[in-house]
Amino acid sequence: MQRRTLFSIVAVSGLLLAPGTMLASEPCDADINNDQQVDIGDLLGVLGDWGPCPEPPASCPADIDGTGSVNVSDMLTVLSGWGPCPETDEDQRIVAYYIEWGIYGRDYQPMDIPADKITHINYAFANISEDGRIALGDPYAAIDKYYEGDTWDQPYRGTYNQINNVLRGQYPHIKTLISVGGWTWSGRFSDIALTNESRAIFAESCVDFIRQYNFDGVDIDWEYPVCCGLSSNTYRPEDRENYTLLLQELRTQLDAAATEDDREYLLTIAAPAGYDKIENLEPDGIAESCDWINVMTYDLHGAWDLSLTNHHSKLYPNPNDPGDEDIATLYNAAASIQNYLDAGVPPNELVLGVPFYGRAWGGVGPDQGGLFQSGSLIPPGTWDDWSSGATGINDWFQIEQFIESGLYTRYWDDDSKVPWLYSPTEHGGHFISYDDEESLQHKVDFIREQGLGGAMFWEITGDRNETLLDVLQPLTRP
C-alpha cells in the first residue's frame, strides 16, 4: 500500500502527529463505510473498532493501514482524508453479470441491483437466431413483464426497460451491455463468424438491437471457439481467426453507429482462463477491437471430475496439487492473466473475473480437510430443479449460511490464496471451493499490482448481503 508524508503537525484528541510520520493512504482509503465521503461515520467506525482486529475471515475495515490493529494511525488517516472522495476513475471497472432468469425463482428484480456499487451491467443472455442475428433470450422477461410504472403502450417493458431506462435514469454512471451466447447459446457462433457476409449480418443486427433497447454495447460470450463447449455446438479450426474478424466487424459497425448517434458504444468479450482454450484465440487481435476482455478465472475445477477435489477459482497454484502438471501449474488466475499479457494484451484491458458462488463435491473423505481427495457424487446446489438435477453450485449467500450452521470447517490455502469448506457429515463429506472476503481482497490487491482494468463477477444474484461486492469497492477509486 502506498504511503504519504504529512508535513504538518496535526492535533487529534490530545495526540500530535509529528512531521515525517507516515500514514497509509491510497486515495479515499479512509472511506471505510463506502459512502464516497470521509466523514463522521468513518471516524465513528474507527472508534467503534478500536484495538486488535479479530482473526480472519472476520473483516476489519477500520484497520486502514493493515497493521492488524485499529489505532491512532487509522484515526489520523480519516482526519487527513476528510471530505468527498475523488471522482471515479473510468478505467477501473466493476462489471456485474445480471441473469435474465433471476426474475423467477430467485426473485431478483432489476431494482434489487446495487447500482451504486458497480460500473457496468452485462445482461445475460441474448441468443442467436437461425438466420444469424442476435435474438431475444426470454421475450417475456426481457421486454414484456410489467413492473410498477409501466404502461401498455410503451415501446417495451420488462427487464430491458428497468435496467436501461429506469435504473440507469437513477444511476447515470452505469453502462449496460447485452451479453450474447453463454454456455447454452454458443452453438451458432462458428457459423456467424464464418464469412464476411455472416459477420456483417450479425454485427448489423447487434447495432439495431442496442439502439432499439438502449444498451451501451455488446458483450460476446463464445464458449468456446475451436472446441470445448457443448457437444452440440458447431466447431471449426478456423474459429480462431474468424473470431478476431467477427470482433473487427462489430467494432467497425459499432463505431459507425456511435458517430451517427453521438454516443459511445462498447464492445467486450467474456474470455476463457484455461491456457488450452486461450490457444484457440488471437488475444492481441481481439484486444485491438474490444474495449476490454473479461477473463473468466473461475470454473477451473468442478464435480464434473470426481477424481480430485480442487479450487475452482484459485489465484495462484498450489505446489502440492497432485493433478496433471500443466493443469496444476497453469489453471489459476495469475497464470491466466500472464498468458494474455504475454500475448500482447495491455493490462488495463484485462478485467479479472471472480465468482459469487462455489463449486462442491460430495462423498469426499476427511484427509486434508477434503482437499485433493476423490469424491463420489455431485451434491445439491442452491437453485437445483427437476431439469438441472444436482449441480454442486452454491451461491455465496448459501455458503454464508453453511458457515453459520456450525456444520462446516473453513480452511485456507495460503499458496492459492483461497478458502474451502468441509463437512464430514453433510452429503457423505461435503467439500466446497469458493471465494470469500479474504480471498477477494487478495484478488483486489492483485488487480492493483498488475494494473488491470478492474473486476467482473458472475453473478449478482449470488451475493444477497453484498459482502463480496463491498470488497471490490476500492477498485473504482483512482
Calpha distance 476→106 (Å, rounded): 28
Q: What is the pLDDT of residue 73?
A: 85
Domains delineated in the chain: 3-84 (no CATH), 93-356+435-476 (3.20.20.80)
Q: What is the pLDDT of residue 74?
A: 81
Residue 475, C-alpha cell as written in the block: 477498485
Give the chain's residues under pLDDT 50.
1-25, 27, 57-58, 87-90, 478
Is-contact 121 98, C-beta < 8 A? yes
Q: What is the pLDDT of residue 383?
A: 96
Establish whether 279 is a catalytic residue.
no
Is-contact 119 175, C-beta < 8 A? yes
Q: What is the pLDDT of residue 113?
A: 97
Calpha distance 287→268 (Å, rounded): 9
**Whole-prediction pTM value?**
0.82
Out of 26, 130, 148, 223, which one is annotated catalytic?
Answer: 223
